[in-house]
Amino acid sequence: MAEENPVADTRRLAAKKQTLDDAYAAPANFLEIDVLNPETHLMGKKRYTDYEVRMRTNLPVFKMKESSVRRRYSDFEWLRDELERNSKVVVPPLPGKAWKRQLPFRGDDGIFEDEFIEERRQGLEAFINKIAGHPLAQNERCLHMFLQEPTLDKSYVPGQIRNT
C-alpha cells in the first residue's frame, strides 16, 4: 500500500450550480433594531419616558422593511408577557423595573435621570433584538404589532402570522 501512488478519493455528491442572482443577492437575514431618542413627556404623576424603536430588515416574514414606532417600558413588559403566555419562546429578561428609583424623597430625578434612561435603553435594545431574531417569536402577531403598528391594541386577538 505504501508503494503505490496514493489515489485521493474525490468522489462527491453532485451539487446544483448556484445562479448568479443567488450568488450576489443580499442575504435575506438582515435585521437591525435600534432603540433610540428617549423623550420624557408630561409632568407630575403622569410623567413617563418613551423610546423610538426603529427597525430595518429584509426578512420576508416582516411586512414593512423599515418601520419606526415609539414605545414605553410598559409596552415592552406587555410584549414579554404576551410572548411568555402564547409562545414557547424562552423570553430573555427585560432591564429592571427600578422600584427604588420610583420612591419619593430621592436626591435625584429617579427614573428620569439621563444615566438611568441610557442604561434602560441599552437593555431594551438588547432585549428586542434577541426577541426579533428568534424564529418562533417572528411568527407571533404581538411582535409584529409591537414593531410595526403605531399603537398597541391590547385587546387584539393573539395568534400567529400566516405566511402568504
Per-residue contact string for residues 29-68; x = within reach of another protein by CB under 8 A: -x-x-----------------------x------------
Taking the C-alpha atoms of residue 120 and residue 114, their distance in angstroms, rounded to an integer, is 10
Applying CB under 8 A, does 90 fall inside the site for another protein?
no
Applying CB under 8 A, does 2 fall inside the site for another protein?
yes
Which of 12, 45, 46, 162 binds another protein (CB under 8 A)? It is 12
Written as one string, the DSSP assignment of 43-73 is -GGG-EEEEEEEEEE--TT-S-SEEEEEEEH
Q: Where are the alpha helices (DSSP H) in the chain?
A: 20-24, 73-86, 99-102, 114-133, 141-148
Applying CB under 8 A, does 3 fall inside the site for another protein?
yes
Site residues, another protein (CB under 8 A)? 1-10, 12, 15, 20-21, 23-24, 26-27, 30, 32, 56
